[in-house]
């Protein structure tokens, strides 16, 4: 890699913003027994928009009383319901509060809380919500699966960081995916991370970005500094830089993270973990830039990390998961098989093999791998989850009628998804007719618009309800 640029003490052009719900989500040292985080308001916003449409329809039909009721419900009651819909975590139980979740629980007989020991799977997705310069504002969505419950927790405030830090640190690492592990270890307050950046004299993204493509090489050309340095000092400095680089990465400061990784790799060029994390950072930056060249360099760095991993079972299993996530199925399979060959009882690798077999349609292999993962699972929740997965695919493999019903259900969900998009487009197409009819004082044109949009919106609502009804698997015990 080329030599370092001159250090310039500049803060990055963009800082990840947090919306700290003061008065509700404030957590002091004496109040750490409870963390609250607001649930995603997307469903409430959809309800408000639908209610606003029918409020206008009521006014058009001359029903002022109904219009007033709908307006008050949509713009007063619904925002209040959304405000009090929260996730709460007290260290042993995660629950969802609010009137709507309680009513839905009463209707469907589903729980509104889950104990830590019942959590079976935690998966986190990173969505690029905003990009400016070399920095990306990530919006994280975490799925928590347990017994008969699925919680979707979306970032957007400081309370999310506190919640996931505490929750992810309280559950076994085996149930966390790659992204969740990274959030647990490196998701700090952006202001604290930027303080470290200024202390380390890392240039801003504006200064670094022009040269990032030429220096983000995934080859093994990184050279150690020539001046003699004590080995303990090298290890300490490299460890500090690795920690800082990952903190920058999960907070979206990708260009600065790449620069810090470069400095760390000059000290420890053969560190498998450092190469692996650098590759994930470079792959994220390639996705933000939509650059195939940078993506190929990231995959080359992954392969270099694999060669340097030796017999590190933890690193190899994480590498296999990353290959699977990035779509390199053959490399993921070879990595999982290599891990199983010398480790034998690698739960994450065996589970990865099951997911690969499922993708290839090899149901018998899926059953075998889930049964093996069940024997390797160290906690009851994982044993319960792997057992249920093995039983489900065994029923699919042995019962043709059950498989036909499941295939029909999945096909129906796909059809409903397409129909939902079509209904939404028709709803939007009716709006110009409504506006044109009102502006031109053409009642017939407006009536056609209201009828088209209203019917399409009712169909859309029915499709959404139907998808929720058919989203769950058929019970294994069903005849």
pLDDT tier at 260 (50, 70, 90 boundaries)? Answer: very high
pLDDT tier at 137 (50, 70, 90 boundaries)? Answer: confident
Domain ranges of the chain: 1-18+189-308, 29-39+85-185, 310-398, 401-470
Q: What is the mean pLDDT of residues 368-389?
A: 92
pLDDT tier at 469 (50, 70, 90 boundaries)? Answer: confident
Q: What is the pLDDT of residues 269-303, one digit of tens each?
A: 999 999 999 999 999 999 888 889 899 999 999 99
Q: What is the pLDDT of residues 168-192, one digit of tens each?
A: 999 999 999 999 999 999 999 989 9
Q: What is the pLDDT of residues 365-374, one digit of tens each?
A: 999 999 999 9
Q: Which CATH number fits domain 310-398: 3.40.50.300, 3.50.50.60, 1.25.40.10, 3.40.50.2300?
A: 1.25.40.10
Q: What is the mean pLDDT of residues 377-398?
A: 92
- In CATH, the number for domain 1-18+189-308 is 1.25.40
The pLDDT, as a whole number, for residue 471 is: 86
Alpha carbons within 13 A on the beta-carbon side of 210: 4
For the chain, give the percent of residues with pLDDT over 70: 88
Separation of first and last alpha carbons in the chain: 64
Q: Is the pLDDT of residue 8 over 60?
A: no
The pLDDT, as a whole number, for residue 32 is: 53
Q: What is the mean pLDDT of residues 134-163?
A: 89
Q: Identify which has the larger pLDDT, 403 or 221.
A: 403
Q: What is the pLDDT of residues 50-81, one digit of tens each?
A: 999 999 999 988 898 999 999 998 899 999 99
pTM of this structure? 0.83
Domain 1-18+189-308 shares a fold with domain 310-398: yes
Average pLDDT of the residues of the chain: 85
Q: Is the pLDDT of residue 228 over 80?
A: no
Q: Is the pLDDT of residue 478 over 60?
A: no
Cα 247 to Cα 209, 258, 376, 475, distances in angstroms: 18, 11, 32, 43
Q: Identify which has the larger pLDDT, 438 or 220.
A: 438
Q: How far apart, in whole angstroms, are the C-alpha atoms of residue 479 and residue 474?
A: 10
């Amino acid at each position: 890699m080329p030599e370092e640029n001159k250090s310039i003490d500049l803060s990055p052009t963009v800082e990840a913003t947090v919306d700290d719900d003061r008065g509700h989500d404030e957590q002091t040292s004496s109040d750490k027994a409870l963390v609250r985080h607001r649930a995603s308001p997307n469903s409430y916003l959809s309800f408000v928009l639908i209610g606003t449409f029918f409020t206008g329809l009521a006014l058009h039909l001359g029903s002022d009383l109904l219009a007033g009721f709908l307006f008050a419900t949509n713009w007063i009651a619904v925002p209040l319901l959304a405000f009090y819909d929260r996730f709460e975590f007290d260290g042993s139980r995660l629950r969802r509060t609010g009137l709507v979740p309680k009513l839905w629980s009463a209707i469907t007989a589903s729980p509104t809380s889950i104990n830590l020991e019942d959590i079976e799977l935690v998966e986190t997705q990173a969505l690029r919500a905003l990009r400016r310069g070399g920095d990306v504002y990530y919006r994280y969505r975490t799925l928590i699966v347990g017994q008969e419950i699925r919680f979707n927790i979306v970032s957007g405030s400081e309370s999310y960081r506190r919640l996931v830090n505490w929750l992810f640190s309280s559950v076994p690492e085996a149930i966390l995916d790659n992204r969740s592990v990274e959030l647990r270890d490196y998701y700090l307050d952006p202001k604290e991370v930027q303080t470290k950046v200024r202390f380390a004299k890392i240039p801003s993204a504006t200064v670094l970005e022009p040269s990032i493509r030429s220096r983000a090489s995934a080859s093994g050309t990184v050279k150690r500094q020539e001046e003699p340095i004590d080995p303990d000092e090298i290890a300490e400095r490299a460890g500090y830089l690795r920690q800082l680089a990952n903190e920058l990465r999960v907070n979206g400061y990708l260009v600065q993270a790449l620069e810090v990784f470069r400095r760390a790799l000059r000290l420890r060029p053969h560190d498998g973990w450092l190469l692996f994390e650098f590759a994930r950072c470079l792959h994220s930056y390639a996705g933000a830039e939509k650059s195939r060249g940078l993506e190929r360099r990231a995959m080359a760095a992954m392969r270099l990390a694999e060669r340097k991993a030796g017999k590190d079972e933890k690193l190899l299993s994480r590498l296999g998961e990353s290959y699977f996530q990035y779509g390199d199925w053959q490399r993921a399979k070879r990595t999982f098989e290599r891990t199983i060959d010398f480790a034998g009882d690698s739960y994450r690798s065996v589970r990865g093999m099951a997911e690969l077999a499922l993708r290839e349609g090899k149901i018998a292999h899926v059953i075998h791998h889930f049964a093996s993962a069940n024997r390797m699972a160290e906690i009851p929740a994982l044993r319960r989850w792997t057992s249920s997965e093995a039983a489900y695919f065994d029923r699919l493999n042995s019962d043709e009628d059950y498989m036909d019903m499941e295939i029909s259900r999945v096909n129906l969900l796909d059809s409903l998804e397409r129909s939902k998009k079509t209904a939404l487009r028709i709803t939007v197409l009716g709006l110009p007719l409504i506006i044109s009819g009102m502006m031109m004082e053409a009642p017939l044109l407006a009536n056609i618009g209201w009828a088209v949009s209203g019917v399409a919106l009712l169909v859309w609502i029915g499709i959404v309800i139907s998808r929720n009804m058919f989203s769950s698997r058929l019970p294994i015990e069903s005849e």
